Amino acid sequence: MNSLGLNIILRMGCLCSKQSVRINGKTYYIRDRLGEGGFSVVELVEDARTHEMFALKRIPCHNAEDQKVAMLEVESHKCIQHPGVMELLDYDLKSKVDPLEDLSSELLILMPYYQRGTLFGELSRREVRKLYFAEKEVLRIFRCICEAVEAFHTLQPDPLAHRDLKTANILLDENFNPVLMDLGSTTKARVDVKEHTEAKQLEELAAERSSMPYRAPELFHVSSNLSIDERSDVWSLGCILFALCFFKSPYDIVYERHDSVALAVVSGRIDIPPDSPFSEELHNLIKYILVVDHKERPFIQDVLTRLRELEMKNQGCV
């Protein structure tokens, strides 16, 4: 049998050798690989009994510290209950001794499967045809994203920040409603940096856990005696709004040119395409959000107020 035929059989799932995984007593068949990141793999799995499809995130843990960090993602899911945030359906921490890969355990996180995929994928397809969203749809999708982020920022007693908001971490359901995923970078939002070592640790963590074209300026070069808060997410939201309009973050373009993203972000320059089909009010909303000085940047509630006003104007209610 040639390699193509073998690959087809493996993707269909040969009845005699289905790969499977058990989560708290339930069996799931592994059907496909949906994605892969620096710290995890996401697979498409099928419930052996109901045949329903799910997404399974597998996080390898090499030591006790890795395991502790991985479990923080589970805890974040438990804290945030919002229709615009990925639901945690089940999880299981498995011992997995593998001397070759130096593994001690593996965290399995079971989540709903969204067949439409990510906002990143949708925008990439639209970019090819230059098929813009209508302005009303841009505002609706962005408002839904902001309302989900608000659930992190208003958590009591300690607000959380997602810290890796980007179009690739936003799924779309069948009605184009956005759902935030990947809570692996979620952390306490408000951090007072006092020492140089603390600043360096935060900077390195941001470099490791957040995507450069969406990363807030204050996380590129963290200085001592600095207070960072949930508005680091608001910067990322501004980049997402730009991408909803023009298919990519303003700093994706810099990254693709192999220019310095850090310098571009810190400069705060935002180039609105001259052929933009969107209103001046929407352009101004992007600029209102993408403020380099985080102390002057709006909070999520301020963004939502401006956004709802613009939505009402677009609907002819003002």
Under 8 Å CB-to-CB from 223, ≥6 apart: which residues? 193, 199
pLDDT at 103: 61
Alpha-carbon distances, residue 36 vs 21, 83, 100, 140, 170 (angstroms): 18, 25, 20, 29, 15
* 113 vs 130: CA distance, rounded Å: 28
Fold for 19-112, please state it.
Phosphorylase Kinase; domain 1 (3.30.200)
Annotation: binding site for ATP: 57
Per residue in 240-279, pLDDT (tens digit) is: 999 999 999 999 988 888 899 999 999 988 999 999 999 9
Instruction: With a cut of 90, say whether residue 218 has pLDDT above it.
Output: yes
* 294 vs 284: CA distance, rounded Å: 18
Instruction: With a cut of 50, say whether residue 15 has pLDDT above it.
Output: no
pLDDT at 8: 43
- Read out DSSP for 65-77? HHHHHHHHHHHHH
Could you give the percent of the chain with pLDDT greater than 70?
92
* 15 vs 268: CA distance, rounded Å: 56
| Residue 245 neighbours by CB distance under 10 Å | 23
pLDDT at 10: 43
Q: For the chain, what is the largest distance between any 2 Cα atoms, rounded to a whole number of angstroms? A: 67
Q: Confidence class of residue 136 from pLDDT cuts 50, 70 and 90? A: very high
Fold for 119-314, please state it.
Transferase(Phosphotransferase); domain 1 (1.10.510)
* 235 vs 216: CA distance, rounded Å: 6
pLDDT at 266: 92
Under 8 Å CB-to-CB from 85, ≥6 apart: which residues? 77, 148, 151, 179, 180, 183
Buried b / exposed e across 113-149, counting CB within 10 Å, b at 16+? Answer: bbeeebbbebbeeeeeeeebbebeebbbbbbbbbbbb
Select the more confidently predicted residue: 101 or 181. 181
Instruction: With a cut of 70, say whether residue 79 has pLDDT above it.
Output: yes
Per DSSP, helices labelled H in 227-317 are 231-246, 250-256, 261-267, 280-289, 300-314
Instruction: With a cut of 70, say whether residue 102 has pLDDT above it.
Output: no
Closest CA to 45 of 117, 114, 118, 110: 110
pLDDT at 253: 86
CATH 1.10.510.10 residue ranges in the chain?
A: 119-314
The catalytic residues are 164
- Read out DSSP for 178-216? EEE---TT-EES-EEE-SHHHHHHHHHHHHHHS-GGG--
Q: Global pTM?
A: 0.90
Distance of CA 312 to the CA centre of its chain: 28
Mean pLDDT computed over every residue of the chain: 91
Task: Specify which residues 93 forms β-bridges with.
Answer: 107
Select the more confidently predicted residue: 209 or 288. 288
